[in-house]
Amino acid sequence: MAGFLSRREILKRAAAAGMTTALPVQTMAQALPSGARAAFENLNTSESEILEAIVARLIPSDENGPGALEAGAANYIDKGLADTLASSQAAYRAGLVALDAYARESAGEAFTALGPGEQDSVLEYLEQNRASGFEPDAASFFNMVLLHTIEGTFCDPAYGGNLDFIGWEMIGYPGIRLGVTAEQQRMDSFPEMTRVSAYDLQMFDADSTGERTDDG
């Protein structure tokens, strides 16, 4: 199954939203070994499994490469629920329970037990605001998770998502640079990816909270 966002649509949405850099300041994540996703800190086992299943369908892996799950988008959301996304924590917990209940009612099984096509059908009903049991409504929950999944896939890796620069590679983003040449600014020029975050380049002097501090 294709999932919700094609690679072309991912590129359009990420570029329009400026997701590679313009994200809320959040406590920076501790560096992880390549390919390793962090343990969940806020959501319980059931909630985290449902969330991972959702993000895996919103931006799925395919023959062209990994998707949001492999990029650590679910971990980005979980970490954010104790930080910049704290105001959404109750909505996430209630929404994940409601989604699973709706899947059981409409498809006869828990959301995580459904096949990819069945999961997509459930999510489509949420997107169309045709699923019951959500507060304030299903579409609001769907749009919230979609936005945060996009953020977690394409953010600077310092914020806990975009593991191994998967998101940046997905859309052909060359990485943070302190300066570019006139040639590199051309639309048909594709410089080699730097695979470093803004913090690796010391664009910010970040304290333990991840907030920018200026010395002069």
Which residues form the domain of 39?
Answer: 7-213
In a domain, 2, yes or no: no
In a domain, 1, yes or no: no
The two three-digit tokens of residue 147, written as one number: 């936005």
In a domain, 124, yes or no: yes
The two three-digit tokens of residue 15, written as one number: 């570029």
Note the Cα 1 to chain centre separation in Å. Answer: 20
- In the chain the first and final C-alpha atoms are separated, in Å, by 53
In a domain, 108, yes or no: yes
Q: What pLDDT digit, counting tens, does each position of 29-74 carry? A: 544 444 455 689 999 999 999 999 999 999 999 888 899 999 999 9
Q: What pLDDT digit, counting tens, does each position of 71-109 carry? A: 999 999 999 999 999 999 999 999 999 999 999 999 999
Q: What is the pTM of this model?
A: 0.76
In a domain, 24, yes or no: yes
In a domain, 123, yes or no: yes
In a domain, 151, yes or no: yes
In a domain, 36, yes or no: yes
User: Domain tally for the chain?
Assistant: 1
**Residue 111 and residue 100 in contact, taking contact as beta carbons nearer than 8 Å:** yes
